[in-house]
Amino acid sequence: MRVVQGLMIMLLAAHPILAQPSSPVVLSLQVATNMTLRSSDALRIRELEGEAAEERYRSGIRDYLPQLQIGFTTSGTVNVAAPDSGCDELSVTVQQPIYNGGRTTKQRALARLQIQLSRHAYRAARADLLASAWDQFYQVLVLEAQLDVKRRYLAQSRAQLGIARTERSLGMIREVDLVDTELQATNQEIDLRSTERELVSARYTLKRTLGLSPDQELALTETIDTGYDGIDIDSPPSVLLPIAESQNLDLQTARFTVSQAEVQASLAKSRYLPQVSASLTLSVSGRGLPLQTPGMSLGFTVAFPESEAPARISLSRGVAFRQSTTENASFAINPFQSITGFLDEADARLELEAARSAAAALRKDIAFQIAQGIAGYQRQQQTTRLERRSIELERRKLEIMRQEVESGAATRVDYVKEEAIAAALEAQLLERVLTLLRNERALERLLGLDPGELPRAVGEVHESQ
């Protein structure tokens, strides 16, 4: 057994990959963002959907081109008291659409809109991924910073606990003061363990988003600036609204929906317009092979495909070489076929009005959300400044209490309690700064900007004023 253990130790020591743990992945926000975009299956699906929409649009040009049909027919008649008759015919027909009431053009317009919607869906999915990656990255940063704060204050509390134990052994403090001091340190340690659990969960979520294995170590290069005051947004919300109107993804979707509804309404109105096509048929016929009698036929068709009473008019003229000339004319109508045409047109009008109304309401909602977002952002700025001031005062109070503890004017347990309050305030300040940054990201989403673009946009607005 010892021999086996010795061999394993030698193997681990000799093999650098087995002997050393894997190095952590060093992550900046930009690296994390790029990894998120590369590892996202949902984004790749959106990209493929866009490519499929473009391919369908390109293939739609076939609707303008002639349609080719190759056919072979054979027929025979058995006559009583007369010779039997029969005919075989091989034909090639070319049919060219001439006019169809603009239906093909409108269908292609819908296909173009579908391409735009696919691209928009890709941008929306990308924006969601960027927002998710940013939030998860900064959540880990905040928890790591909070963990450092709590570890620092816990170490100080343990040091005070050690002093309290010495003081108790010398009879300088009561037993209840020692227990109370240890209780404060224990509560801080419980809070520290809770933060550690939250950090493990947040790191796992970030690794999953980045496409990394759960056991991969991370090393984040960014830090949380607790002195961050945010951006000075002095402009009224109406000044930022044009940015949202041109870049907000929801507004773009609403405009695409209105455009689609307009095309659908136009298609519904064109149901009375005819479809016109011409055809040329070349044939060779005869009784049995080889076929030796050539022929040619020209045709012209006008169809009214409205669902209430679809009608069709067909005219054709054909010649069989040196044998015969044929002329055909036909008219067919199916009265009272359906009444859905009237309903389809009414539905299209209603959908168009609903799309326009929804787009107008969305614009008002976004204008309101921008105003509320700016107001909430400014309130959060004030709250963060007040939180920072509270920490400054708490630190001054701690220094005063430390001096009072040394002089005997205050108890050590009161000092440990104040340390716990200071730790909570510093941890809360990190949350306040994160909330401020999240408010910035929310404003960027409203304006249709990528994470981190709000300062540039606000600066450009200030320069233009």
pLDDT of residue 433: 95
Domain count for the chain? 1
Whether 301 is covered by a domain: the verdict is yes
CB 251 within 8 A of CB 245: yes
Reported for 121-126, long-range contacts at CB under 8 A and 24+ positions apart, including other chains, are 121/46, 121/49, 121/50, 122/43, 122/46, 122/47, 122/49, 122/50, 123/249, 124/249, 124/253, 125/40, 125/42, 125/43, 125/46, 126/37, 126/43, 126/46
> What is d(CA 315, CA 152) in angstroms, rounded to the nearest whole number?
95
Whether 18 is covered by a domain: the verdict is no
The most distant pair of C-alpha atoms in the chain lies apart, rounded to whole Å, by: 141
CB 281 within 8 A of CB 297: yes
Comparing CA positions, the residue from 370, 267, 281, 376 lying closest to residue 319 is: 281
For 9, half-sphere exposure in the C-beta direction (CA atoms, 13 angstrom radius) is 6
In order, the DSSP letters of 269-286 are HGGGS-EEEEEEEEEEEE
Q: In a structure prediction context, what are the per-residue pLDDT tens digits for the chain, which is 465 residues long?
A: 444 444 444 444 444 433 344 688 898 999 999 999 998 888 898 888 888 888 888 888 888 888 889 988 887 777 776 676 777 888 898 888 888 888 888 888 888 888 888 888 888 889 889 899 999 999 999 999 999 999 999 999 999 999 999 988 988 888 998 999 999 999 999 999 999 999 999 999 999 999 899 999 999 998 989 999 989 888 788 888 888 988 898 998 899 899 989 988 888 888 778 888 888 888 887 777 777 778 888 888 888 877 667 778 887 877 766 667 878 888 887 776 666 666 777 888 899 999 999 999 999 999 999 999 999 999 999 999 999 999 999 999 999 998 998 888 888 889 999 999 999 999 999 999 999 999 999 999 999 888 888 888 888 877 776
Whether 104 is covered by a domain: the verdict is yes
Whether 81 is covered by a domain: the verdict is no
> What is d(CA 235, CA 408) in angstroms, rounded to the nearest whole number?
55
CA dihedral 391, 397, 399, 404 (to 10 degrees): -160
Give all strands of the β-sheet with 275-286 in edge-to-edge order: 67-77, 85-99, 275-286, 293-304, 311-320, 324-333
pLDDT of residue 283: 83
Whether 9 is covered by a domain: the verdict is no
Q: What is the pLDDT of residues 187-234, one digit of tens each?
A: 999 999 999 999 999 999 999 999 899 999 999 998 989 999 989 888
Structure tokens at 74: 């054979």
CB 254 within 8 A of CB 448: no
Q: How would you classify the pairing of strands 25-27 and 218-220?
A: parallel
Comparing CA positions, the residue from 30, 450, 40 lying closest to residue 249 is: 450
CB 412 within 8 A of CB 167: yes
Comparing CA positions, the residue from 368, 376, 378, 377 lying closest to residue 237 is: 368
Angle value at C-alpha 91, between 85 and 93, nearest 5 degrees: 140
Name the residue range of residue 98's domain: 28-76+86-464
> What are the start-end ranges of the H helices in 270-339?
none
Q: Facing residues of 74 across strands? A: 88
pLDDT of residue 339: 65
Structure tokens at 461: 């607005």
Whether 22 is covered by a domain: the verdict is no
Whether 11 is covered by a domain: the verdict is no
For residue 33, give every residue at least 6 positions away whose Cβ sits within 8 Å of its Cβ, in sequence order, or none.
130, 133, 134, 451
CB 300 within 8 A of CB 314: yes
The CATH number covering residue 281 comes to 1.20.1600.10
Residue with tokens 């008002």: 364
Indicate the SS3 state at residue 227: coil
Whether 149 is covered by a domain: the verdict is yes
CB 114 within 8 A of CB 106: no
* Angle (deg, nearest 10), helices 237-247 and 340-407: 130
